[in-house]
Homo-oligomer: A and B are copies of this chain.
Amino acid sequence: MEEENRKKRILVPEPALRRMPSYLAYIKLARKDGMKYVSSTHIARDMGVDPTQVTKDLSYTSIVGKTRVGYEVEPLIDELENFLGFRIMDEAYLFGAGSLGMALLHDHGLKQFGLKVVAAFDVNPEIVGKNFGGVPVYHVDDFLQFKEKGIQIGILTVPVEKAQEVAHWMVKGGIRAIWNFTPVRIKVEEDVIVQNTSLYAPLAVMFNRLHSKE
């Protein structure tokens, strides 16, 4: 019990979690090349990062490496995918089927990472009632009727001026985790998980680095 509580409170650092999918991608490439073991040293050298960072990041999972050998590739992939939640398929609703939302609807990459969009909601009469990439689009006003389905994850891709309002209704309708693609920092109940992913934030960093070189 004590132990559990501690685990709950001491979360895996977000930077570490964000790096793990890139390790996974690397290790899968190694598997393709027929490698049976990978060491943090090699991962780090090839990826241009610090080797102890790789070790530390992997130590948050239940993986144990072998001294002088490294990590066994197959179990490492299994454990990483399980740990990151890519193996269990979570279902999600998408809110706002504009250009970005539509792109996510058609992107089959999501399924490989454990997320399946089962329905979309929008207000545009031209798309409501239709199917896109096998996903039906309903009117936002009908969303609350879907509450019993028990879907926990919502993808927010509405225009900025609607973000806060829609987020509010998402939570009302039972959503417990919001993948927020708008640049708006939405305010929701404390126990709702919000993951902000502004597509354009990395652009700001890139421009700054590029321009500060002259």
Contact = CB atoms under 8 A, between A and B. Distances in A.
Interface string A179-214: 100111101000101011111111111111111110
Nearest to A201: B18
B109 A199 contact: yes
Given A184-B26, A193-B206, A212-B8, A100 B90 contact: no
Interface stretch (A46-54, A68-76, A123-131, A138-146): A46-54
B21 A212 contact: no
Interface in A18-62: 18-22, 24-26, 28-29, 32, 46-49
| Total copies of the chain | 2
Contacts of A20: 204
A21 B183 contact: yes
Contact of A176 (B8, B99, B198, B210): B210
A211 B196 CA distance: 18
A11 interface: yes
Contacts of A28: 160
A94 interface: no
Counting contact residues on chain A (CB < 8 A from B), the size range is: 35 or more
Interface in A96-122: 99-100, 102-104, 106-110, 113-115
A103 B99 CA distance: 7
Given A84-B203, A100-B103, A196-B202, 11 more contacts: A7-B212, A8-B213, A11-B208, A12-B212, A20-B204, A21-B204, A22-B185, A25-B182, A25-B184, A99-B107, A100-B109
15 contacts: A17-B204, A17-B205, A18-B198, A21-B183, A24-B183, A26-B185, A29-B160, A84-B207, A85-B203, A85-B211, A100-B103, A110-B200, A153-B206, A193-B210, A197-B199
The list of the 9 closest CB pairs from A to B, nearest first, reads A85-B207, A103-B103, A25-B183, A47-B185, A195-B206, A18-B201, A84-B204, A197-B202, A113-B200
Interface of A: 7-8, 11-12, 14, 17-22, 24-26, 28-29, 32, 46-49, 83-86, 90, 99-100, 102-104, 106-110, 113-115, 152-153, 160-161, 176-177, 179, 182-185, 187, 191, 193, 195-213
